[in-house]
Amino acid sequence: MTDKGNAAESRSDPPAPSRWLTIIVVCAIVVFLGMVAGAGLWMTAAITVASVVAIGNWVATQWSAGVVAVRLDSPEEGRDLEVVIGSLVPVTVEVTNQGKLPVAWVLAEDLIPRGAIQQARQADGMAIDPRTTPLPIEGARLAVMALLPGQSKRIEYSVRCLRRGYFQIGPTVLETGDPVGMFRRYRLGARPMFVTVLPKVQLLSTYEIGSRRPIGEIKIRASSMTDPTRLRGIRQWQIGDPLRSVHWAATARTGTLHSKVYEPSSVAGATIILDLHVDTNPDQHEPLRTDLTITAAASIAAALHDAGEPFGLATNGRDAADRIRTEGFRGDHRVRDASVKAASLKQLNERLRPVLVNVDRGPVHLKEMFRTLARLERTDGLTLAEFLVETESQLSSETTMLVMLQQATEADIAALVGLSRRGWAIAVVINTLDIDRYSRMAGPLLAERIHVSHLQTEDSIMDVCRAQMAR
């Protein structure tokens, strides 16, 4: 389907002030010399130069105004294209001369952000093919065309989606100018399309996520029942609350009925907590370690879905869709300072805003989970400790808090220990190849009877799940 919303957005590139000033000064000098010397040849030269300049400017403007571009077979505006890893996405941009003049040349380029085509790095001693990129290009996304009035030509290429993520393809930049190269014009043609590459999922048919409370009782896969020996808090009395749950001291103190809230005697499912702060997810391990975390989280969510268990997500990472759609390519693709500056405050807010997917069940919920995981990226916003303080009241206490991290500071470990002591069901997955680093982080957690698993490679995802099941 042709995206009719891809109407060309005109952007004119007037000559630089210095170029105009040079032309005016040259013409003025020639005219002055002609007047002083009384030479008609000098006057003729000045008029000729001025005419060439004026005609060149007019031709460049007309050519630029007449050329438009439309992206074919793209999703409707406001919708993203969703694909799995390994998919080949064809891209077609049609360039048309809608003007009355033939266009001698137009340079059409479909832009792709640098991060989508940069080479992957070697990480953790594992060799990565240096030719591997998130979106390797097959074909040419740049072409120089000559167009007669009403004539159309196409740019056709494909992108291979090799890694999960959220990517922008386009917009198309159209550049033309006068025949002698004095003036250049460019405009934005076809609007961009956005591609979500869903994360890799391993099938975990034997996975169980039942957890253990800090006091040691074994949890079962069943509906949550309250434990009258474990008081969680107090809230205002609601219709249906039994009289035995009334907190008489709080009722007498406030003059309003209050009920006791107890901890559930069983926990089922999981709230997956992902630490994606840049300080604990260093560059030298990217993108391998973060993608491994995302793969493990997606695999666990799929296993919980198949088992009929509830699952959710909470992370201090940032949704790449918020960043990319905010920054975008606005105006001159070579000068985007104004756009970036205008978005700076929003970017700050996005860095400090947790990404949450509430606990739920069902295929629609699983799809939302996959989309969110696909778009996550590291950020320098909230640390894990700050994030846990910020979101504790929003997290489900009736599921296991499954925390996945690469490294942990003393504050992070203290925050996890504090949650465990307050009655949360905690399990930690440490994503690292380094046995010593794993031991240093696992020690304080194991001392608090917090279960810890070691995630080394994709093959260890199943081992992590077996460890959970054995508990």
| 285 and 192 part of one domain | no
Please, are residues 193 and 71 in contact by the beta-carbon 8 Å criterion?
A: yes
Confirm whether 54 is domain-assigned: no
| 183 and 141 part of one domain | yes
| 236 and 305 part of one domain | no
Confirm whether 101 is domain-assigned: yes
Stretch 322-340: mean pLDDT: 53
| 377 and 441 part of one domain | yes
Q: Is the pLDDT of residue 201 over 60?
A: yes
High-pLDDT (> 90) share of the chain, %: 30
Q: Is the pLDDT of residue 114 over 60?
A: yes
Confirm whether 231 is domain-assigned: yes
| 172 and 79 part of one domain | yes
Confirm whether 211 is domain-assigned: no
| 303 and 417 part of one domain | yes
Query: 3-class SS at 191?
Result: coil
Q: Is the pLDDT of residue 216 over 60?
A: no
| 162 and 293 part of one domain | no
Q: Tens digit of pLDDT for each residue in 292-302? A: 999 999 999 99
Stretch 304-309: mean pLDDT: 86
pLDDT confidence tier of residue 262, bands split at 50, 70 and 90: low
130 compared with 70, residue with greater pLDDT: 70
Its domain, for residue 424, covers: 270-317+354-470
Confirm whether 378 is domain-assigned: yes
High-pLDDT (> 70) share of the chain, %: 68
| 301 and 248 part of one domain | no
Confirm whether 207 is domain-assigned: no
Token representation of residue 144: 């120089």
| 277 and 416 part of one domain | yes
Q: Judge residue 349's burial from the number of C-beta atoms within 10 Å of its C-beta, 0-12 exposed, 13-18 middle, 19 or more buried.
A: exposed
Please, are residues 292 and 299 in contact by the beta-carbon 8 Å criterion?
A: no
20 compared with 80, residue with greater pLDDT: 80
| 181 and 254 part of one domain | no
Confirm whether 259 is domain-assigned: yes
Q: For residue 112, give the H/E element and its range.
A: none
**What is the domain count for the chain?**
3
The rounded distance, in Å, linking the Cα atoms of 381 and 351 is 5
Q: Is the pLDDT of residue 173 over 60?
A: yes
CATH for 289: 3.40.50.410
| 397 and 425 part of one domain | yes
| 115 and 166 part of one domain | yes
Q: Tens digit of pLDDT for each residue in 68-88? A: 899 988 787 778 899 999 899
255: left (phi over 0), alpha (psi -120 to 50) or beta: left
Confirm whether 438 is domain-assigned: yes
